[in-house]
Chains A and B, each alone.
Chain A
Amino acid sequence: MSEELRLSSRETRGKPGVKRYAMVIDVRRCIGCMACQVACKAEYDVPLGVFRTWVPYRVVGTYPTVKKQFLPRLCNHCDDPPCVRACPVGATFKVEDGGFVLQNYERCIGCKACMASCPYNARFMLPEHRTTSKITSVVDKCTFCYHRVSQGLVPACVQTCIGRARVFGDLNDPNSEVSQLVARHATQVLRPEEGTKPHVFYIGGDRNLTEYGRALYGKSDYLDGERAMFDRNHKI
């Protein structure tokens, strides 16, 4: 990314001397097995009803020639993250070397300003009671598996993806696989108009998957089952 496109001092893409991790998701390779979702749940003991990564889909075509289009989702670890500037107490921060957007659980007051500011629905409130973890009633999100990446591993979702639909690496390194994928393929990011500079890139994404649709209107029972389950486990 050229220097003139860098608007905020927080942005580190193309900045010399620091890494800028990114994920490339080739949706043509995604088979919707949800293994990434399961691996993430296992890695972090993510509670019922909330997700650090999830795989929504859309059914396209006419019977009998129909198929599901998947769009794996997670925190976009934006280069200019709106959640960082929204947090009144600095509980959300960006790691300069790597570009991880992380959460300080001890400092989070639970005002949910970061949730309101996220254009990607990547943040959620942890429930009051959890089986094994003591981290409760604070906002949580995907960390790009900071603990794994800092030890030279790839994120759990990338490790487990059977189709190699997810590729992870340093975008500031021109020789990395993600840099080459972004350079060679037409890629798409979610909601680029918001100026957040998301760092999850999609190859083969369909805008019907990434934009709001008119069918949303009038669906008063939309996700009622999920909503009821969420309400049982959460108090927001």
Chain B
Amino acid sequence: MLDYTVFHTIAWPSAYSVYFFVIGIAAALFFLSALSWYRAEFKPLRASAFYVSFVLLAVGGLLLISDLSQPARFLSMINPAYLNFDSPLAWGSLNLVSFGLVSVLYFVMMNKGDEINSRRLAVIGSLLALGLPVYTGFDLTVHQHRPVWNTPLMPVLFVALSLVSGAAVASFLAKGDAKLLATLRSFMLWSAGAVAAMLVSLLGTTAYGGSAQELTFMIMTSGSMGLAFIWLGLILGTAAPIGLLLAPVGRQPIGVLAAGALILIGGMALRYAILVGPQLVHTAY
């Protein structure tokens, strides 16, 4: 431990966690809209979930571009002459652009009433949507010296976070449809359960890691990230909604909506803590 070193900033500030949040929701909402072609109870979500997904995709894209210190060079991210396929960001940018294009085509086919092509695009778009949380997870995983990030859990955790946050937003779009809300309740319950299991596992491996891991564990539990990670993310945003959904009130629309609101608070807090927390210990190295 040094007594004096120069100040080092964190590489990725909290704005990236907002991007992770909106892009995760956009992906899950597209998936729910796509599901409406195959499962009748999702039909009320077909248009509304897609529109919100598309708006969030645009917001996410703009956030990503504005976070670059050279935003005018964002097209380099899809320039085949420049792309470095060793970087998950290169795959992610292609995935993002492909998802945007498929979303536009899906919109056209859906409005034309072309069911066959809409169904095809729904499947292709859902696979690309799955790629969004997967690549954001890999963005973090590949940095081998970062505690928490450098675990195989990250891509899977981001998929679960995407699903739980997307289902939470969808519950507000369901307009009280009892059958749909019951299905979304199951989505939220299982994906929040998966998030909780992964977070507990993550905490365990981080606590018993090397010195950087141990310090990060301390920062994320009782340190400056404790409020966001433990209280807002794990307790209020994951454990409380699971408890609420399991309680009798959780089977009623009001319970599902309340759980959805908590999940959204927790989803944002978790992404923020997971993004920023593991960078803090390194600022003093």
A interface, CB within 8 angstroms of B: 49, 51, 54, 56-59, 71, 82, 84-90, 107-113, 115-117, 119-121, 124-125, 137-139, 191, 193-195, 208-209, 211-220, 222-223, 226-227, 229-230, 234-236
Contacts and interface: CB of A to CB of B under 8 A. Distances in A.
Contacts of A212: 1, 211-212, 215, 281, 284-285
A230 to B, nearest CB: 5
Nearest to B7: A226
Contact of A88 (B11, B77, B283): B77
Interface residues of B, number: 50
Interface of B: 1-9, 11-13, 67-71, 73-74, 76-77, 79, 82-84, 86-87, 89-90, 93, 139, 142-146, 210-212, 215, 218-219, 223-224, 279, 281-285
Contacts of A211: 1, 211
Contacts of A49: 7
| Most chain A CB atoms below 10 A, which of B2, B76, B139 | B2
A51 B1 contact: no
B73 to A, nearest CB: 4
5 contacts: A109-B69, A124-B8, A212-B1, A217-B223, A230-B7
Contacts of A214: 1, 211, 215
Nearest to B93: A88
Contact of A109 (B73, B211, B218): B73
10 closest A-B pairs by beta carbon, nearest first, are A213-B1, A110-B69, A226-B7, A56-B5, A88-B89, A115-B11, A119-B145, A116-B11, A85-B86, A88-B90
B74 to A, nearest CB: 7
A151 B13 CA distance: 39
B2 A71 contact: yes
B216 to A, nearest CB: 9
A46 to B, nearest CB: 11
